[in-house]
Amino acid sequence: MHSGPTRFISLAVAASAAALAGCSKAPDTGEFVAACVKTQATQQMCECAAKAAASKLSPDLFQAMVYDMQGKRQELAAISDKMSFDERASFAQKQFEIMGSCMKAG
Full-model pTM: 0.72
**pLDDT of res. 11:** 37
**pLDDT of res. 26:** 72
- pLDDT (tens, 9 = 90+) of the chain, 106 residues, equals 545 444 434 333 333 333 333 444 678 999 999 999 999 999 999 999 999 999 999 999 999 999 999 999 999 999 999 999 999 999 999 999 999 999 876 5
Residue 71 φ then ψ, to 5°: 75, 20
Angle at 28 between CA 104 and CA 67, to 5 degrees: 75
Provide the CB-side half-sphere exposure for 47 (13 A, CA): 5
